[in-house]
Amino acid sequence: MTAASRARLLVELGRFDQAEAELRLGLLNRPGDPDMLALLAAVLRLDGRHGDALAAAEAAIEAGPGSAGAHAERAENLIALSRTREAVEAASEAARLRPAEPEVHRVLARAHAAGRDFGRARAAARQALAFDPRSVPSLLTLAEVERVAGRRRAAARATRAALAEDPEHPGGRWLIALLNAERLHVGEAMRGLRDLAVDHPARLRAEALAWPILGVLAGLRRGLAVGVPLTLAVRLATPWWSLAGLFAQGIALVVAVVMLTFTARVLLPAGRMPWRCLALLPRRLVVTELVAAGVSVPLLVWYAMSARWLPLALAVAAVSALIISGAFRMRVTSLNSR
φ/ψ of 242, rounded to 5, equals: -65, -30
pLDDT at 203 over 70: no
Q: What is residue 207's predicted lDDT score, i.e. its pLDDT?
A: 67
Q: Which residue has the higher pLDDT, 95 or 26?
A: 95
Q: What is residue 151's predicted lDDT score, i.e. its pLDDT?
A: 92
Q: What is residue 202's predicted lDDT score, i.e. its pLDDT?
A: 63
pLDDT at 163 over 80: yes
Q: Which residue has the higher pLDDT, 190 or 280?
A: 190
Q: What is residue 276's predicted lDDT score, i.e. its pLDDT?
A: 80
Distance CA 202, CA 4 (A): 22
Q: What is the mean pLDDT of residues 217-228?
A: 90
Q: What is the mean pLDDT of residues 202-210?
A: 68
pLDDT at 201 over 80: no
Q: What is the mean pLDDT of residues 323-337?
A: 68
301 burial class (0-12, 13-18, 19+ CB within 10 angstroms)? middle
Q: What is residue 32's predicted lDDT score, i.e. its pLDDT?
A: 80
Q: What is residue 333's predicted lDDT score, i.e. its pLDDT?
A: 57
Q: What is residue 55's predicted lDDT score, i.e. its pLDDT?
A: 92
Q: What percent of the chain has pLDDT over 90?
A: 49
Q: What is residue 332's predicted lDDT score, i.e. its pLDDT?
A: 58
DSSP string covering 247-305, please?
A: HHHHHHHHHHHHHHHHHHHHHHHH-SHHHHGGGGS-HHHHHHHHHHHHHHHHHHHHHHH
pLDDT at 283 over 90: no
Q: How many Å separate Cα 175 from the centre of its chain?
A: 11
Distance CA 227, CA 216 (A): 16
Q: What is the mean pLDDT of residues 262-278?
A: 84
Q: Which residues does 185 contact at the CB level (< 8 Å), separation at least 6?
A: none
Q: What is the mean pLDDT of residues 317-329?
A: 85
Q: Which residues does 250 contact at the CB level (< 8 Å), separation at least 6?
A: 304
Q: What percent of the chain has pLDDT over 70?
A: 94
HSE toward the beta carbon, residue 323, CA cutoff 13 A: 13
Residue 204 burial (CB count, 10 A): 17
Q: What is the mean pLDDT of residues 44-54?
A: 88
Q: What is residue 162's predicted lDDT score, i.e. its pLDDT?
A: 94
Q: What is residue 275's predicted lDDT score, i.e. its pLDDT?
A: 81
Least confident among 122-136, 241-255, 281-295: 281-295
What amino acid is encoded at 152 in this protein?
R
φ/ψ of 191, rounded to 5, equals: -65, -45
Q: Which residues does 137 contact at the CB level (< 8 Å), separation at least 6?
A: 102, 103, 106, 128, 171
Confidence tier at 93 by pLDDT (50, 70, 90) = very high
Q: What is residue 305's predicted lDDT score, i.e. its pLDDT?
A: 93
Helix and strand numbers, DSSP H then E, in the chain: 18, 0
CB distance 27 to 63 below 8 Å: no
Q: How many Å separate Cα 294 from the centre of its chain?
A: 25
CATH number of 1-98: 1.25.40.10
Look up residue 210 and give its DSSP letter: T
Single out the residue of 125, 130, 154 nearest to residue 142, CA to CA.
125
Q: What is the mean pLDDT of residues 243-269?
A: 92
Domain ranges of the chain: 1-98, 209-336
- Cα separations in angstroms, 264 against 177, 184, 220, 268, 319: 20, 11, 12, 6, 19
